[in-house]
Amino acid sequence: MHADTPGEFDIIARYFTRHSARRDVLLGVGDDAALLQVPADRRLVAAMDTLVEGVHFPAATAADHIGYRALAVNLSDLAAMGAEPSWALLSLSLPNAEPAWLQGFADGFFGLAARHGVELVGGDTVRGPLVVTVQVLGVVESNGILKRSGAQPGDLVYVSGIPGEAAAGLNVIQTGKAGSDAAMQLRQRFERPEPRVELGRALRTLATAAMDVSDGLLTDLGKLCRASGCEATLNLDLLPASLLMRTLYDAEATERFALAGGDDYELLFTLAPERVAEFEHVVSPLALCTCIGKIARGGQAPGTVTCLRNGQTVAVNAPGFDHFARQ
């Protein structure tokens, strides 16, 4: 073993123990468990996501992107609930303890954590294949929590950002389409997704339902509809155009990325038509949001999403990501 290879306790002490700035952390890293103070008038919101090398990110991904992404995908889940993130736990399985890798990972993780005032309060460190699990804990007001299940017939369907760009970014990485400015920006959409925490907070009392897009827009809209007992129409002509994608891909590939591509971590939400004016006033400074469809009553098959192009129904085959889908 290399002389400066840190042991388990050095790793925790050197890379994952930081001075606590939050007064609601009564015990952080170092004891057997963390002790946290939840405000009396709030509810605790918890989410966890795992990233596996070769499944969620390519093997050559830089450590700081992995650290950033592991937290970002979790913050995105809290954003989708309208919650305010507070604390995180990190379970790290590493094949070996390389100081440069650990430093990069910690930089990516803590850089994003600091931007959202999130504190790492515990975790686990083991040797094994590269697998990163993060749990985030946050709080939300006890009234008006954003769920997937609140969409109503007649609501408008919105999505933030430009769906598909993250999937295109992954394709750029996998196919080695490097070099151009567009390729670099698309890569960044995959490597550094922006969790829509402020948007989620603003939507909490505005939207009827919300979720984050992680498995593909079409499949995720189906999930929201199923949870709400509704159906939806998705107007393909309204999908936000991506100059970046169109620089490198044809219209067909771009649409496929937009509908089936995972990893965007944008928010998909529904809004009663009478709230649109207020929504535009409050939300337009926070993120680009586009109306892409409408909720309809759930008939025979709640969860059905009908795609329209030029007002006509079109069949679209855009299966979203499913770890256990039959090949």
The reply on whether position 128 binds ligand ADP by CB under 6 A is no
73 binds, among ligand ADP, Mg ion, none (CB under 5 to 8 A by kind): none
122 binds, among ligand ADP, Mg ion, none (CB under 5 to 8 A by kind): ligand ADP
Nearer to Mg ion, 32 or 41 (CB): 32
The reply on whether position 92 binds ligand ADP by CB under 6 A is yes
Q: Which stretch binds ligand ADP (CB under 6 A): 121-129, 155-163, 207-215, 289-297?
A: 121-129
Amino acid letter, residue 198: E
Nearer to ligand ADP, 32 or 237 (CB): 32
Sign of CA dihedral 219, 225, 226, 228: positive
C-alpha 75/C-alpha 221 separation (Å) is: 20
Both tokens assigned to 87: 């604390």
Residue from 4, 32, 181, 237 that binds Mg ion (CB under 5 A)? 32
Residue from 31, 250, 280, 322 that binds ligand ADP (CB under 6 A)? 31
List CB contacts of 82: < 8 A, sequence separation 6 or more: 140, 144, 145, 146, 200, 201, 203, 204, 205, 210
C-alpha 76/C-alpha 80 separation (Å) is: 6
Both tokens assigned to 174: 């996998």
Number of residues that bind ligand ADP (CB under 6 A): 13
Nearer to ligand ADP, 90 or 258 (CB): 90
87 binds, among ligand ADP, Mg ion, none (CB under 5 to 8 A by kind): none
Three-class DSSP category at 62: coil
CA 245 to mean position of chain CA atoms: 20
The reply on whether position 95 binds ligand ADP by CB under 6 A is no
The reply on whether position 125 binds ligand ADP by CB under 6 A is yes
Nearer to ligand ADP, 44 or 291 (CB): 44
Both tokens assigned to 8: 């388990």
Q: What is the DSSP letter of 2?
A: -
The reply on whether position 104 binds ligand ADP by CB under 6 A is no
Q: Which stretch binds Mg ion (CB under 5 A): 32-40, 151-159, 205-213, 234-242?
A: 32-40
C-alpha 255/C-alpha 6 separation (Å) is: 47
DSSP lists the bridge partners of residue 158 as 269, 291
Q: Which spans of this chain sit near ligand ADP (rule: CB under 6 A)? A: 12, 16, 29-32, 90, 92, 120, 122-125
